[in-house]
Amino acid sequence: MAARRKLFLTHAGELAHLLVRAIARNGMAMEFVRTYAHRHDRRKVTADLERLREMESTISREALLLISAEVRRLLPQAFGFSRAPSDQELILCDLFYTEFLGSLGRALGWPSFEAETEAAAFRRDLEIYARWRERNPKPLRKGRSSKGDAPFPDRCAILLDPAMMEQARRAAAAFQTDLLRLGVGIFGQLGRIPPRPEPSRARERNTRALKSPVRTGNKSARATPKSGAKANPRRRPR
C-alpha cells in the first residue's frame, strides 16, 4: 500500500532547513569542491581557506537556486492538483513557495540589514533557473551531459576552477544531477503518511487459532460423565 501525502505550509520551512543542512555548512557543496580538487590533483582550489569558504557559500547558493526551481515546478503535482490548476490552487502553491523562499533566507542566516537585498537577488537569479527548468522538464540522468543552456555547470565551474573550465564544467554537470535527485527525494518525503502495517501471516494464524475452538484427537477426553454415574476414586497406596 502506497503512503498517502498531505502537504501543509509548515512543510515549506521544514524543506528549506533540510536542504540547507544537506548542502551548506560542510555539506554536499564542500564535499564536491574537495572531491574535485583531490580527483583532478588541483590542490590550489582548496589551498586558501578563506577562498574555500567563500566558494562553498556561493556554490551552495547556486545549488539551492537549482533545487528551488525544481520545487516550484513540482508543487502542483505534490498538492495533487491537475495539470491545469485552478486560480485557488495556484494561490496555495504561491503561498507555499513564498514561505519556502523566506525560510531559505532564514536558514542561510542572511543578516537582517542585508536580508531584503539578498532575497531580491536570489529571486532574480531564480528566474534564470526556472526558465531553464521549464525548457528542460525531464529528469537529468547521471552520465548524460546537460543542455548547453543549463546555468548551474557554467556558473559553478567559474567559481570552482576557471583555469580548467571544461573539466570543472563536467564535474559540475554531474553534481547538478546529484543535487536534483537530492532535492526531489527530500521534497517527495514531505507530508508522507505511512500506511498502516498489515498483520503478519504468523499473527493472522495466531488470531485465528484464538478464535477457533480447541480441538483434541481424543474425543473421550471431552466427554462428560452421564447423569448419575459415579466417578471412580483413585486408590491411595497402602
pLDDT digits 0-9 by tens, 90-131: 999 999 999 999 999 999 999 889 999 999 999 999 999 999
Instruction: State yes or no: pLDDT of 1 exceeds 60.
Output: no
Instruction: State yes or no: pLDDT of 207 exceeds 60.
Output: no
User: For residue 204, which amino acid is it?
Assistant: E
Residues 169 and 146: their CA atoms lie apart, in Å, by 10
Share of the chain above pLDDT 90, in %: 61
Residues 223 and 204: their CA atoms lie apart, in Å, by 31
* Confidence at residue 143, expressed as pLDDT on a 0 to 100 scale: 47
* Confidence at residue 221, expressed as pLDDT on a 0 to 100 scale: 47
Instruction: State yes or no: pLDDT of 57 exceeds 90.
Output: yes
Higher pLDDT: 2 or 39? It is: 39
Instruction: State yes or no: pLDDT of 61 exceeds 60.
Output: yes
How is the chain split into domains, by residue range?
Answer: 4-193
In tens, the pLDDT along 167-206 reads 999 999 999 999 999 999 999 999 887 666 665 565 666 5
pTM of the predicted structure, to 2 decimals: 0.77
What's the chain's average pLDDT? 84
Q: Which of 229, 151, 139 is nearest to 185 (CA)?
A: 139
* Confidence at residue 82, expressed as pLDDT on a 0 to 100 scale: 83
